[in-house]
Structure formats: C-alpha cells, structure tokens
Amino acid sequence: MPASRINPVKIVPLGGLGEIGLNLLVLECARHAIIIDAGVMFPEERGLGLGRLLPDVSYLEHSKAQLDAIILTHAHEDHIGALPYLLRKSPAPVYGTDVTLAFVRRALSEEGPVGADLRPLSPGTEVLAGPFSIEPVRVTHSTPDSVALAIRTPAGLIVHSGDFKIDPAPVDGVHFDTERFARLGEEGVALLLSDSTNAELEGHSGSESSLKPVLTSLMRRTRRRFFLSSFSSHLHRIRQLAEVAHETGRYVVPLGRRMAESVRLGMETGQLNLPPGTFIERAEAEFLEPRRLAFLASGSQGEPRSALAKLATDTQPLVRIEEGDVVVLSSRFIPGNERTIHAVINSLYKRGAEVLYEPMAPVHVSGHARREELNELIRLVRPRYFVPIHGEYRHLALHRALAIKSGIAERNCFLLEDGDTLVMNAGEIRRGNSVSAGRLVEDGEELGDPSLIRERRALAQEGTVIAIVAVSTRTGKIVAGPHLLARGVVSGDGTSSHLTRARSELVERLQVLDEYRRSDGAQIRDEMVRALRRYFSNSIGKRPMIVPYVMEV
Ligand SMILES: [Zn+2]
Ligand SMILES: [Zn+2]
C-alpha cells in the first residue's frame, strides 16, 4: 500500500511540554483519538488566591475525532487531577492500574458526581481503542504501579515513558522492565516521548530504598516524636516510614484527611502491607510516649491549610510540636514555593523542633530519571524519532540535546511546546499545524481563563483606581464627578493628596474634549484611563488597574 493510503497519526500535546505538570497528550488517527494522562498544576503565585491550573482541552471540540480512551500512566495529581474536568467535557473509558484507579476514584468522589467507566490496565495486557493498541510497560517511579505505554498505531510504534526512573532496588520489589523495553527496541520504535523533569541532573537518581537506613538512624537517635512530611500520594515513602516505625517500636499516625485516605488506599491496594495496629488514630496517640510515635503529615510544599502548616501554627487538633521533636520534610522544594516552605520551617524551629530537609540531610530521593537513566531508556528503545515531554523549556532542550548526543539524528529530535503537533505517516514524522492550547484556572467553583491570573497579579502588584463620572448625553456636560477611589496604590496618608491632584488633571483633560466626544461614553472612558495612567506613572511610577465608570444621564 502506498504511504498516502495509510492513516496518519497526529500527536497533539495539550499540556506538560513547557511546564512541569498539566500533562495531557492526544493521539489521533482516522477520526479516533486517545488521551494519555489528564493532569493539573499548582500556580506559582499562591498569593493570588487562585486554585489549580488545568489544561485547556477546547481543541477536542474542534477536532471531530471520537475519544475512545483516556489512559493514565500513574496516580500523581499532575497526571490525573484534571480527569473529572475532562470527563465532563469529553466522556470516555478511563484505563489505569489498580493503584492509579484507587486514586482516581477518590478524585472523582471529591469533585462531585462524575460518571466514569473505569477499566483495568496491567503490564503485558494490551488494550484496544479504535486503531490504537496500548501495552503498559512497568516502570519505577515515586508512586507504585506506574507504567510507560507502548502504543501500536497504523503509522508506527510509539513509546511514551510516563514519569519514570530506573530504580535498582524498588521498595515494592517491582522492577523497571528493562527487557520489555529492549524487545520493543528490537521490534522497531518510531517515536519515543520521554520524561524530562530531571534532564538537568547528571548521573543516576538513586534508589527510593536508600532512604530506609536514613530514616532508621534518625528514628533511633530521637527520643521524642518523629514527623515526616511528604506528598500524600507518595506510597513508597509512606511505606518506608511505616516499616521503619514498626521496626523501631513506633506507631504511625496519619494527620489530615488526605494522608489518612492515602494510607487507606495503600492498604486496600496491598501497597502498605504492615502488621495490624501499625497505623493508629490521633486520639490514641495522646496516651503514648513521644518515642513511640511517628506522624505522617502532608504539606511539604508549605500549603497553607495542610497538616504541616497547622503543626507550624499550633492549630492542629490534639497534636502539637514540642521541644526536641524531629520533623523531616521529605520532598523537593518546588520552585516558587520556597518562601512559604521556609516560613513553615521557621515556625517549626520556634516551637523547638529539629527540622531536616534537603540538602542538609539526605531525606529525599527524586522519582524522575537523571541523565544516565534517560540515556539508558534511549539506548534500550532506540527510537527513530524523539520528543522530550514533561518539563519546562530548558528541561526539554537539554533532553533533546542528550538524545542527539546518544545517536538519534538531529532532524528527528523535535522540541515541541503545548499545542505544537506532529504528523506520523508510515514511520515518517513531520511537524503539523499548531492547535490552540492553554491553561484554565480554578477560582472557587468556577473555571477562569488566564486573564484572571493577569488581573489578580496587576491588582496585587499595582493596586486599583476607580473613577466615576456622570455626563449628559444631550449636552456633553459633566454633571457630576469625577470621583476617584484608590485601593493598594499609595499608603493611607498619601492617598488623598494624590487623588486630589489626579482628579484635577483628569478634569482638565475631560474639559479639553469637545462636546461631541464628551457625549460618547466609550471615548470618555478611554480618556479617563489614559489620563490616570499617565498621572500615576509620572508621579509614583506605578501602573494601577484603572476602572472607569461613566454614568450617562
Ligand atoms: Zn509522577
Ligand atoms: Zn509527573
């Protein structure tokens, strides 16, 4: 069959290429589509009072393809968090491994009634969806039951790494399936899409299980209570903490609803197989000696309402930090969160705790492959084409350079951002037309577009000036005002004098307008914005948000 008769496959990333988080990739062929992952992201500016960011999937409405399946690689929020939203927009069967589906059920129940057809995914068993056949391949990562995907399409074989590292000693004994990747490589892989999160870091990320001796020695040396803070989805870490606690004679107390839920999901899925009685409720902890207790607290990113933040501000019911307690922050500080995390650490110190975190103590191991492991995956899979995914632009650029260095032809390594597309035809890949991609932002129950972020930022940084004027539409005369109100522009004392001067400049400018223009509300509003912008920019070097209001009488 000539190449043109074979259905091409379109590769459309709508999130995760240009940022860490928000992962969502669409594959299309012959009017059918599948989606890999549907993740969220947390805004860097927490101070703006906005919620999570979600990938804009309006592209799916424009593309007329039928969505046959949503395939999830693992249980992290940046891969499943947008699923309830996606299912409301584009319902389709959802495939995930046991642990992933356990977390998906929780996410779906938290976001109100969202109907979902959940189907099992397990390594070695292929799933058919339209013209695609999807085979999960076992990888190691910071959450158990994570998979990569080998996707057979009419235009060639695609391997999607998911999030991965190559852990030589996984906590659950379930290994990265080197052999399967090598066999896929022999079969002939057209395209590899691979996790770029740690593409800046040389070497090997190290084994998750290397933390166990560290936790053991810390727990043995302290006579007081032990607190460990990590992501609540980090079941490997929770398991290690619980094992060490059990071995050193401590009971484990999960703090906060989400952490307690994770422990329950971990036990339900067999990931936390510990002797009965290892986990106890916080009410039971009251009567136990400090050296018999280990607490699990979410909030390692300094999240304001988390268990750790409540410990820091002494607002946690029944549990308080006391002199000599040890608190371990077992996670990477996500850029943008440092200030809030440091504030939490300062408060914990004030309460007398000893606080340990990276890099002062080796209390965290990343779940993402570093350069040696990235190289190893490329060597195993030997793809003809390569696209770095899951990363900010610099991670993607470095990962692409690494792929070229490891022998993939430079013209076959594409650097894509969200909305850039590729078209694969009989094993050949070229760039396609870009499609619309972007972010939505949660604001309470509502979803807003990025202008909401821009407006909040402007309000937070520059303040706002409201200007009100009444004009006669008949004569063009100013009947009342202008009245000015300012918030967050200058501090209290200066406000009235600045507003008086701004007002007289504004009056002058409005007077200069001829009567015809003064009887047109839109023209007056423009002039008000221009005049006030100029005043505040010249007088105090600020650009407050100007809100003009013209009453036409
Ligand atoms: Zn992950
Ligand atoms: Zn991820």
Which ligand does the CA of 197 lie closest to? 2
Residue 493: which pLDDT band, with cuts at 50, 70 and 90? low
| pLDDT > 90? residue 514 | no
Q: Which residue has the higher pLDDT, 482 or 211?
A: 211
Which ligand does the CA of 142 lie closest to? 1
Top-ranked range on mean pLDDT: pick from 194-203, 229-238, 358-367 = 194-203
Mean pLDDT of 20-37: 96
Residue 516: which pLDDT band, with cuts at 50, 70 and 90? low
Residue 510: which pLDDT band, with cuts at 50, 70 and 90? confident
What string of H, E and C letters represents the secondary structure of 264-291? HHHHHCCCCCCCCCCECCHHHHCCCCHH
Pairing of strands 32-36, 191-195: unpaired
Asked which of 39-43, 77-81, 254-258, 361-365 is least confident by mean pLDDT, the reply is 39-43
Asked which of 162-176, 279-293, 479-493 is least confident by mean pLDDT, the reply is 479-493
Which ligand does the CA of 236 lie closest to? 1
**Number of residues written out for the chain:** 553
What string of H, E and C letters represents the secondary structure of 50-78? CCCEEECCCHHHHCCCEEEEEECCCCCHH
| pLDDT > 50? residue 283 | yes
Model pLDDT for residues 297-319, shown as the tens digit of each residue: 998 888 888 999 999 999 988 89
**Arithmetic mean of pLDDT over the chain:** 91
Model pLDDT for residues 49-77, shown as the tens digit of each residue: 678 899 999 999 999 899 999 999 999 99
CB 134 within 8 A of CB 69: yes
pLDDT in the model for residue 480: 76
The one catalytic residue in 74, 368, 390, 399 is 368
Which ligand does the CA of 366 lie closest to? 1
Residue 529: which pLDDT band, with cuts at 50, 70 and 90? confident
Count other Cβ atoms within 10 Å, centred on residue 204: 16
pLDDT in the model for residue 348: 95
Residue 110: which pLDDT band, with cuts at 50, 70 and 90? confident
Q: Which residue has the higher pLDDT, 176 or 529?
A: 176
pLDDT in the model for residue 1: 44
**Geometric angle at alpha carbon 37, from 50 and 89, rounded to 5°:** 65
Pairing of strands 9-15, 24-29: antiparallel
- How many Å lie between the centroid of ligand 2 and the Cα of residue 234? 12
368 carries an active-site annotation? yes
pLDDT in the model for residue 5: 57
Residues 6 or more apart from 8 whose CB is under 8 A from it? 29, 155, 423, 424, 425
pLDDT in the model for residue 2: 46
Q: What is the DSSP letter of 544?
A: P
Cα–Cα distance measured from residue 368 to residue 204, given in angstroms and rounded to the nearest whole number: 9
Count other Cβ atoms within 10 Å, centred on residue 411: 8
Count other Cβ atoms within 10 Å, centred on residue 9: 25
Which ligand does the CA of 147 lie closest to? 1
Structure tokens at 296: 């699990």
- How many Å lie between the centroid of ligand 1 and the Cα of residue 71? 14
Cα–Cα distance measured from residue 225 to residue 294, given in angstroms and rounded to the nearest whole number: 6
Asked which of 23-32, 495-504, 524-533 is least confident by mean pLDDT, the reply is 495-504
- How many Å lie between the centroid of ligand 1 and the Cα of residue 280? 28
Residues with CB under 5 A from ligand 1 (ion): 76, 163
Mean pLDDT of 229-240: 94
- In 158-167, which positions are buried (b, 16+ CB within 10 angstroms) versus exposed (e)? bbbbbbbbbb
Which ligand does the CA of 141 lie closest to? 1
Structure tokens at 171: 């906590």
Distance from chain centroid for Cα 365: 19
| pLDDT > 80? residue 362 | yes
Cα–Cα distance measured from residue 147 to residue 75, given in angstroms and rounded to the nearest whole number: 10
pLDDT in the model for residue 4: 47
Give the orientation angle of helix 98-110 with respect to helix 257-268, to 10 degrees.
140
Residue 518: which pLDDT band, with cuts at 50, 70 and 90? low
Mean pLDDT of 168-192: 97
The closest of 441, 434, 440, 400 to 417, measured between CA atoms, is 434
- How many Å lie between the centroid of ligand 2 and the Cα of residue 41? 10
Pairing of strands 326-329, 293-297: unpaired
- How many Å lie between the centroid of ligand 2 and the Cα of residue 311? 28
Q: How far is CA 142 from CA 56, 61, 202, 288, 413, in A?
A: 27, 34, 19, 31, 28
The one catalytic residue in 145, 177, 195, 325 is 195
Residue 18: which pLDDT band, with cuts at 50, 70 and 90? very high
Structure tokens at 321: 């930090």
Model pLDDT for residues 324-334, shown as the tens digit of each residue: 999 999 998 88
- How many Å lie between the centroid of ligand 1 and the Cα of residue 78? 7
Q: DSSP letter string over 81-103?
A: TTHHHHHHHS---EEE-HHHHHH
Q: Is the dihedral of CA 236, 270, 110, 195 positive or negative?
A: positive
Asked which of 109-123, 282-296, 390-404 is least confident by mean pLDDT, the reply is 109-123
- In 16-31, which positions are buried (b, 16+ CB within 10 angstroms) versus exposed (e)? bbbbbbbbbbbbbbee
Cα–Cα distance measured from residue 455 to residue 240, given in angstroms and rounded to the nearest whole number: 44
Cα–Cα distance measured from residue 171 to residue 142, given in angstroms and rounded to the nearest whole number: 10
Count other Cβ atoms within 10 Å, centred on residue 287: 7
- Phi, psi dihedral angles at 485 (to 5 degrees): -130, 135
Q: DSSP letter string over 160-206?
A: E--S-B--SS-TTS----HHHHHHHHHH--SEEEEE-TTTTS-S---
Burial of 385 (0-12, 13-18, 19+ CB in 10 A): buried
- How many Å lie between the centroid of ligand 1 and the Cα of residue 499? 52
Model pLDDT for residues 383-416, shown as the tens digit of each residue: 999 999 999 999 999 999 999 999 999 999 999 9
- How many Å lie between the centroid of ligand 2 and the Cα of residue 241? 23
Q: Which residue has the higher pLDDT, 135 or 528?
A: 135
- How many Å lie between the centroid of ligand 2 and the Cα of residue 495? 47
pLDDT in the model for residue 83: 96
- How many Å lie between the centroid of ligand 1 and the Cα of residue 404? 25
